[in-house]
Amino acid sequence: MHSIIFATNNKNKVDEIRSVLKNSFQIISLKEAGIDIDIPEPYETLEENAREKSNTIYALTGKDCFSEDTGLEVIALNNEPGVRSARYASDHDFNKNIEKLLLNLNGIDNREAQFRTVISLMLHGKEYQFEGICKGIITSAGAGSNGFGYDAVFIPRGSNKTFAEMTMEEKNKFSHRKKATTKFVQFLTDLNGKD
């Protein structure tokens, strides 16, 4: 089985990617690979930040790896929090981040938003990128206790539940990360077929 390092310290993201990949590939987290670093995300786009993370791990290990960067883009807020989604109000404290988001949307009727994921794959020293988008709306209050990040205030188009009210299987029917991962898996599967 092809093993590949996932350049993240976020256990939730590892679990979510593994739930999509099933047993197609062996996903190794940074922790499992014995890598204990926080990779900076200094850029203004998801694409550049994803590339920074995969390039860093590839340079460190020389092994096939991938990373992803995800942002919540709210139309009425000029696509904020976007690339700063994890650090919108406070570094990785999503209660504070959600609080700020709802405050900024207070009195605004247009609640349209989208989650966007960009996966950067480093394979044999070459980079490939895959994008997944999930459109939906921001609720006026949080609901549900599953998921992470902004899941409690995001209802994907075609559902009446927030991501945080869904099981992993339900979330994967809509998920931006699932869409990007599906493209990524298809690419690797096609590549394996050519070997």
- Short-list 102, 130, 97, 117, CA closest to 171: 117
> Is 190 among the residues known to form the active site?
no
Residue of 69, 93, 109, 151 marked catalytic: 69
Extract the tokens encoding 91: 């570094």
Give the DSSP H/E element, type plus range, for residue 15: helix 11-21
Q: What angle do CA 65, 183, 24 make, to 5 degrees?
A: 60
Question: How many other C-beta atoms lie within 10 A of the C-beta of residue 150?
Answer: 26
Burial of 118 (0-12, 13-18, 19+ CB in 10 A): buried
Residues forming the active site: 69
